[in-house]
Structure 1
């Protein structure tokens, strides 16, 4: 298995996986939307995407991906990364692919001088929670001294 960061010319490698990821989160399958979304993020340099490639029956195929988005702190004057998407094809789970994708993301963020990688997962996604905690992620409370506000538009 090989993990690599992709650029916009390689976006096709993750389109099917991204579509499956969205379906996992109860969204309708829409490969055109997936293709456009991934291509735009990469062309605009708005995210970093890593893909796991594995040899399957003599063919190298994408079996998982992770996508990170930058986040900035004006007060701390730093850029950090949000690991927003992580997906491994159902036929390739329990092989350590998710962990390797996360490790690649963390190495990338560290090389980019980030001070943290943050992620979220559903409260009922116990497999993901175990993986994150095994790697060393710590469940966080809101940062001390700040409230988080959100408005739905």
Structure 2
């Protein structure tokens, strides 16, 4: 989770919407900013857009966009629906949350996060899980201020090339 706004001071009106296939280009631009923030090198500049288009078209993820009057679309969140085996219930993974530099300190990050939580509660899921970089203190402050608790598990990943 990258590029959050950690304060609501100076908060502007934020309008949220579910991304449709017609929003792929604007969502892909934000997605590229997110990938750049995490220093992910993408060889094909069209890959982020194609990835999002496939997720949206197949209803494989929920992609939310944040619009701020006068600034345009400044943020996005992407949620994957899955299951929590230990809870025997559905859960959501907030995989991506990003606000472009132009939209920071507008409340867009907090608004996106709260909308994910609202929709998750409405869907009756067990909870929302997320992860962020150890050094992304701004994002961690936002998540903790919204009731997220750091879990005591280690995350492992095996790259299969």
CA deviation string 1:75-103 (max 9, x = no partner): 64421101110100112211211000000
Q: Pick from 2, 12, 17: which aligns with 2:25?
A: 12
| Alignment partners' CA distance in 2, 1:23 and 1:149 | 22
Q: Pick from 64, 68, 71: which aligns with 2:79?
A: 68
| Alignment partners' CA distance in 2, 1:92 and 1:49 | 18
Could you tell me which runs of 5 or more consecutive residues in structure 2 were left unpaired when the two chains were aligned: 1-13
TM-score by length of 2: 0.82
The residue that corresponds to 1:3 in the other structure is 16
The SS at the match of 1:139 is coil
Size of the aligned set, in residue pairs, is: 146
Could you tell me which runs of 5 or more consecutive residues in structure 1 were left unpaired when the two chains were aligned: none
Q: Pick from 140, 143, 159: which aligns with 1:152?
A: 159
Give the alignment's Cα RMSD to 1 decimal.
1.9
CA contact (8 A) 2:87 2:126 kept: no
TM-score by length of 1: 0.86
Higher relative contact order (CA 8 A, sep 6+): 2
- Between Structure 1 and Structure 2, the one with more strand by share is 1
CA contact (8 A) 2:68 2:103 kept: no
Give the drift of 1:138: 0.6
Q: Which has the larger radius of gyration?
A: 1
Give the drift of 1:148: 6.8
| Alignment partners' CA distance in 2, 1:75 and 1:137 | 18
